[in-house]
Amino acid sequence: MRFLSTILLLAIIPLPAAETYDIVITGATPAGIAAAVRSARRGHTVLLTDHRPGPGGMLSNGLLQWDALSPARRSPIYDEFLDRTHAFYAEKYGADSPEQSLAKLVPGRYPIASVEPHVFEKICGEMLSAEKNITTVYKVHVSSASISGRAITTITLAPHEGAGSSREVSAKIFIDATYEGDLAAAAKVPYRVGREARDEFDEPHAGKVFTKIKGGKFPKVAVEGKLAIFPYYAAMDGIDPQSPHTADGAIQAYNYRPTLTRNPEHRIPFTAPPEGYDRKQYLNFERRYFGAGDRGSINGLSSFNAPILPGENHAYPEADWETRNKILARHKNFALGLIWFLQNDETIPENKRTENKQWGLSKLDWPDNGHLPYDMYVREARRISGRTTYTEHDNSLAKGLDRSPVSSDSIAITDWYMDSHSCTLDSSPGYPYDGKLILTEESRPGMIPYRTLLPENLDNLLVPVCLSATHVAWGAVRLEPVWTQTGEAAGFAASLALEKQTTPGELDPALLIRALAEERLMLAFFNDIDMENPAPWVPAVQWAATKGYFSDYDARPEGDLFASVAKAWTETFAALTSDSLDANARAVALHATDRSDTTPVTAASFAAMLEEASKTEVTPHPVAAALKTLAFPPEKTISRANACLLMFTATKE
> Residue 12: pLDDT above 90?
no
Angle between helices 480-499 and 30-41 in degrees, nearest 10: 30
> Residue 637: pLDDT above 90?
yes
Strand partners, 601: none
**Dihedral of alpha carbons 442, 447, 451, 455, sign:** positive
For 122, residues 6+ apart whose C-beta sits below 8 A from its C-beta are 3, 88
φ, ψ dihedrals at 543, nearest 5°: -60, -45
Q: What is the pLDDT of residue 10?
A: 44
The answer to the question of residue 513 being in a domain is no
Cis peptide before 219 (omega within 30 of 0): yes
The answer to the question of residue 647 being in a domain is yes
> Residue 388: pLDDT above 60?
yes
Number of domains in the chain: 2
Report pLDDT digits (tens) over 105-144.
888 888 899 999 999 999 999 999 999 999 999 999 999 9
Q: What is the pLDDT of residue 105?
A: 85
The answer to the question of residue 282 being in a domain is yes
The answer to the question of residue 559 being in a domain is yes
Average pLDDT rounded to a whole number, residues 415-422: 97
Q: Could you tell me the residue range of the domain that residue 328 belongs to?
A: 259-369
> Residue 34: pLDDT above 60?
yes
Average pLDDT rounded to a whole number, residues 460-476: 98
Average pLDDT rounded to a whole number, residues 57-77: 95
Average pLDDT rounded to a whole number, residues 563-573: 97
| Final residue of a structural domain among 336, 369, 402 | 369
Q: What is the pLDDT of residue 17?
A: 55
| Cα–Cα distance measured from residue 227 to residue 69, given in angstroms and rounded to the nearest whole number | 11
% of the chain residues with pLDDT over 90: 89
DSSP-derived secondary structure letter, 468: S
The answer to the question of residue 424 being in a domain is no
pLDDT, the chain, mean:
94
The answer to the question of residue 83 being in a domain is no
> Residue 311: pLDDT above 90?
yes
- List alpha helices for 413-508, DSSP H: 471-477, 480-499
The answer to the question of residue 38 being in a domain is no
161 pLDDT band (50/70/90 cuts)?
Answer: confident
Q: Name which of 357-361, 435-439, 452-456, 520-524 the model is least confident about.
A: 357-361
> Residue 544: pLDDT above 90?
yes
> Residue 199: pLDDT above 50?
yes
Q: What is the pLDDT of residue 8?
A: 41
For the purposes of burial, counting CB atoms within 10 Å of the CB of 47, is it exposed (0-12), middle (13-18) or buried (19 or more)? buried
DSSP-derived secondary structure letter, 508: -
The answer to the question of residue 587 being in a domain is yes
| Cα–Cα distance measured from residue 207 to residue 469, given in angstroms and rounded to the nearest whole number | 14
φ, ψ dihedrals at 451, nearest 5°: -60, -20
| Final residue of a structural domain among 326, 343, 369 | 369
| Cα–Cα distance measured from residue 249 to residue 195, given in angstroms and rounded to the nearest whole number | 6
C-alpha count within 13 angstroms, C-beta hemisphere, residue 31: 30
Average pLDDT rounded to a whole number, residues 266-280: 95
| Final residue of a structural domain among 326, 354, 369 | 369
Q: What is the pLDDT of residue 11?
A: 45
Most confident of the following: 10-14, 70-74, 484-488: 484-488
Q: What is the pLDDT of residue 111?
A: 86
Buried b / exposed e along 227-265 (16+ C-beta atoms within 10 A): bbbbbbebbbeebbeebebebbebbbbbbbbbbbbbeee
